[in-house]
Amino acid sequence: EFYGEYRSGKTQLCHTLAVSCQLSSEQGGGEGKCMWIDTEGTFRPERISKIAEKMNLSADDVLNNISYARAYNSFHQQSLLSQAASLMSEERYAILIVDSATALFRTDYTGRAELAQRQVAIGRFMRSLEQIAVEFGVAVVISNQVVAQMDSGSNLFGGTSLKPIGGNTIAHASTTRLSLRLGPGTSRICKVIDSPCLPQSEASFAITTGGICNADNESF
């Protein structure tokens, strides 16, 4: 799970993963196709082409290896997972990307009166993702939005507290949680919040025409 505010790099990371997953295992890739469920209309084929060129891959081949679907409401988003499973039973997929996982749930379930229903629906969706990951051996990557926590004690002293949407429902379902934020200059900072195999730490990265790279190598 990647979460962060607007312009923190969530969708750009997803674009880079959609290409790098098609690399060979010797190159650090997954040797498989990518499936992308888009809930906000953020997928950009032209970005994929540029990233593919930087990785010395055919842009047309890379785009042909991405199965794309746009979800228009949370019920549609859930139903797309059944179609995804059907495709994965026929071909080798390395990654399933959902960008973002929570946007449609936020608009379909509004107010505190529908909060419990929203959490149940999100839990059902996350459980389906976990089943797909286990059954087909694919990596599942979701991006998540954040919301300002107005009742946080840090705000009493002028601080800003942002928390990811979905609460404990997504927190418990996500194996690895990464927080993204804007860094100095054009850099972004990725922080490991929770992971079974990584310590809590931070790393800087930059967004270039060729995708994600180290912050000190922006010419990539």
Contact 165, 173 (CB under 8 A): no
Tokens of residue 194, six digits = 């929770």
pLDDT tens readout for residues 178-206: 999 999 888 999 999 999 999 999 999 99
Give pTM, 2 decimals. 0.91
Q: At 168, is the secondary structure helix, strand, or coil?
A: helix
What is residue 161's predicted lDDT score, i.e. its pLDDT? 82
pLDDT tens readout for residues 13-64: 999 999 999 999 999 999 999 999 999 999 999 999 999 999 999 999 999 9
pLDDT tens readout for residues 150-161: 655 545 555 558
C-alpha dihedral sign at 27, 48, 85, 125: positive
What is residue 185's predicted lDDT score, i.e. its pLDDT? 83
> At residue 30, what are phi and psi to the nearest 5 degrees?
-110, 0
What is residue 217's predicted lDDT score, i.e. its pLDDT? 65
List, in order, residues 6 or more apart from 46 with CB less than 8 Å away.
Answer: none
Q: Residue 166 to residues 61, 83, 95, 125: CA-CA distances in angstroms?
A: 36, 24, 22, 11
